Amino acid sequence: MDPSAANISYWLNNSLPIGYQNQSSAWFLGGNNISFNGHGHGTLNGNGQIWYDYTKGVSNIAGRPHALTISKTNNATFTGLRFVQSQMWTMAIVNSSFVDLNDIYVSSTSNDSEPARNTDGADTIYSHHINFRRWEVTNDDDSIAIKANSSDILIEDSTFYGGLGVAIGSIGQYPNRYETVERVLTRNCVFNATRMLGYIKTWTGIEQGFPPNGGGGGTGFVRDVAWTNSKLIGLTESPAEITQCTTFSGAVGECDTSTLQISNITWSGLYGTMVGTVIADLSCSGAAPCENLAILESNITSETGEPGTYSCHAVNSTKGFFC
């Protein structure tokens, strides 16, 4: 057996469980009052191409590890770290609070035609008062994602290349579980050829399959979230998106069943260019329509020269735009 295959076999069987979405990690680090400084040189290389080729574009293969999990950590600072070719998510921040993550570099892309799926720059889970400052992320999935029971999150002065943008979710994957995200601010960032700028994704209200590649039926809320004062360079899809129709395992439909409530969401002070014409694609659930969505003081130009458009479903109140 060649060393690459042996390496994958080892990690599939020995990665450390995180306890959420059947995710696992290569390395856990945690504690109180930590100061961790890579001085711009300290690098974790996940040999990710081996994993990108192995998965062949399939999402969430069990045992595929994250590069680093910051767990049960409080009053800590991580600075000047570099992550290249992460195996899966680069970083998960779990059950932690008051953590500063400054001057972090992430590059996880595939050198062949298959995208490097699940290569999120960072995800928060059950964490509060987390600050991301001066990140540079190049990847093929969420630039940064804010997941279940996260609050008071700041993302600022960062640049994102080629991924999906800053995501809220997905949440609502576990039936009858109440999950929340609130008070998230993204500001003063650059989105260069990402698909979206800021988007929200929840599972349907009907359980279809099981995590990590199925689920649904959860409830809760997403509220008080804003993306502001940020630049778009050739955005490939649309700056603002909401979907409450996330479902895998080949299931379709049930897009109006989620009871997870989305409210008080703002995109403002956005400027720059996008490839298409759709500024907002907001597909909320008929069972819990979105409330108070605002797109304000933005100057976004389509490369086609055509005026921007807005698409809405189950949106009760808007400000600054008409569906």
Residue 312, CB-side half-sphere exposure with 13 Å CA sphere: 17
How far apart, in whole angstroms, are the C-alpha atoms of residue 228 and residue 67? 30
141 as an active site residue: the answer is: yes
25 prior amide bond cis, ω within 30: no
209, 249 contact by CB (below 8 A): yes
Residues 103, 141, 142, 256: which is the catalytic one? 141
Q: Could you list the active site residues?
A: 141
